[in-house]
Amino acid sequence: MKIIDFYVIILSFLITLITYYTANSIVFILIQFFICITISIYTYVLKNNARIGKLTSLYNRKYFDYILSDKLKRLRGRANLALLICDVDNFKLINDTYGHVTGDAVLAELADILKANIRKSDTAYRYGGEEFAIIMPNTNYNEAEVVAMRIKKAVEKHFFKTNVTVTVSVGVAVTNYKVSAIDIVIIADKALYIAKKQKNTVVCLQM
C-alpha cells in the first residue's frame, strides 16, 4: 500500500467517526485535531513526492533550480558555494548496446553512489538525462575538488549489477559572492565540458 493511500484511508475513517461522536465535544475536538494532523502530513507527502524522481529517488531539476537560487541569494561575505555537475560518459552507447532498462539501472545505482559519497550538508539532484548535480554550501575550491574526486573514484570502483563499466566526468564551479543561478550553472557546464574533453576527469573552476 502506498503511503498516500494510507493517509486517505485514515482521513476517511476520522471523518466517519465525526458522524458518531458529534455529541461528545471532547471526542469531537480530538478527531478534528487528528484530521488536521493527517491533512498536514498528507500535504507534505504530496509535495515531497513531486520533488523526488521515481527512478533515482533524488530531487528533480525543478527543485534544484529553486534551492540553488535560494542558497545563492543567502551567500554573505566569505561564504562559499560549490556546484558539481556529474555526467555519465558514453551513456548513449550504454543505452544503445544494453538497452534502456540497463541504462535506467545504471542511473539508479549511480544515484546511490552519489548519496553515499557526499557530505550531510550537500544535496544531490537528478539534473537531467544522465546528468546529476550536487549543491555544496560552505565549500571552497579544495573541498569541492576532494568531493568530486571521491565520487569519480567511487563510480570507477563500483561493481554495477548490470556488469557495465561506468565512468563519469565531473565539472565544478565555486563562488564566494552573489551570482545568479544561471551564471554558476554556465561555469559548471564549462568545467564539465573541459572534463569530458580530457576524458572522464574532474575540472574545478573558481568564479
Domain ranges of the chain: 3-51, 61-206
Please state the separation of Cα 183 from the chain's center in Å: 20
- Angle at 47 (CA atoms; ends 45, 52), nearest 5 degrees: 90
**3-state DSSP helix/strand/coil % of the chain, to nearest 5:** 55, 15, 25
Residues of the chain with pLDDT under 50: 1
130 has catalytic annotation: yes
pLDDT of residue 41: 63
Give the pTM: 0.76
pLDDT of residue 1: 45
pLDDT of residue 204: 82
What's the topology of domain 61-206? Alpha-Beta Plaits (3.30.70)
pLDDT of residue 25: 60
Compute the distance between CA of residue 144 and CA of residue 164 in angstroms, rounded to an integer.
Answer: 28
pLDDT of residue 127: 93
pLDDT of residue 162: 87
pLDDT of residue 100: 93
pLDDT of residue 199: 80
Catalytic residue among 130, 131, 143, 145: 130
pLDDT of residue 27: 58
Q: Are 141 and 206 in contact (CB under 8 A)?
A: yes
